[in-house]
């Protein structure tokens, strides 16, 4: 028996680590991975909330889980596009370091 709040806290922890990773990582691909981590954290929250509402209402609620399903689909699509963009950037600039992708500023 585990309080659902623990799952939620775990999701908050993962989300914040995701944010921190986005801020720290220099490699664009890893930066993109940290976004995936954030999305996973959100998924966990959805599933936890879905479970919570099943208990509150007394019968199975799958809305939150469906949301997760869609997030996965979107994440897959985003991954395809994102990695294509990364490849395009790499070809144009020959670097994968985010700190060097700052041609446009001010």
User: Site residues for other proteins, window 8-47 (CB under 8 A)?
Assistant: 8-10, 12-47
Nearest-approach distance from CB 67 to other proteins, in angstroms: 6
Q: Segment 56-85, which members bind other proteins (CB under 8 A)?
A: 56-57, 60-85
CB of 76 to other proteins, least distance (A): 6
CB of 51 to other proteins, least distance (A): 5
Enter the tokens of residue 81: 């596009």
Task: Name the token pair of 22.
Answer: 């986005």
- Angstrom distance (rounded) from CA 9 to CA 12: 5
Looking up tokens 């914040």 gives 16
* Coil vs helix vs strand at 45: helix
Cβ 95 to other proteins shortest distance, Å: 10
Virtual CA dihedral for 76, 78, 82, 83, nearest 10 degrees?
10
User: Which residue carries 């992708």 as its tokens?
Assistant: 101
| Number of residues forming the site for other proteins (CB under 8 A) | 101
């Amino acid at each position: 028996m585990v309080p659902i709040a623990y799952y939620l806290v775990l999701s908050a922890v993962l989300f914040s680590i995701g944010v921190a990773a986005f801020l720290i990582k220099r490699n664009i691909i890893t930066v993109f991975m940290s976004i995936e981590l954030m999305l996973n954290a959100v998924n966990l929250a959805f599933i936890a909330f879905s479970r919570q509402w099943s208990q509150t209402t007394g019968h199975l609620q799958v809305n939150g889980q469906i949301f997760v399903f869609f997030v996965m689909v979107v994440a897959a699509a985003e991954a395809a596009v994102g990695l294509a963009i990364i490849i395009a950037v790499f070809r144009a600039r020959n670097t994968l370091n985010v700190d060097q992708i700052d041609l446009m500023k001010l």
